[in-house]
Amino acid sequence: MIEKLKKDLDHEIQWLKYYGYREDRLKLDLSKGGVYEQVRSIGYTKRVIPLDMRCIGALSYEWNENTNTDNLKCLNERRNGADKLSPIELWVKLYPNEIEMIYNKLNE
């Protein structure tokens, strides 16, 4: 399941690089969580689609205090920032020492 999370993480980073404002990505604070509350959609369409629906749609992972790499559960539900996290948000919770790596990938 960790391989699926890595694949989803890379996919989400690519979408955020394409659809998220660069200025917002540059000042993003991943330690605060709430990636989609900090980055605005560039809005290529007539109506602005929420960035979390545009990037990952219904892709989220279940989160609780007992979550680890052995018991990851992928959900087909929209993330809510509390117990349903996007791949980036989950990765930061599981590997807080890799925040800089994600930040660099988002802004390369």
Sequential pLDDT tens for the chain (108 residues)? 888 889 989 999 998 898 888 999 999 999 887 888 898 888 666 777 777 777 665 578 888 888 888 888 888 887 776 788 889 998 999 999 999 999 999 998
For the chain, the 3-state helix, strand and coil shares in percent, each to the nearest 5, are 50, 10, 40
Q: How far apart are CA 84 and CA 21, in angstroms?
A: 24
pLDDT at 27: 93
DSSP 49: P
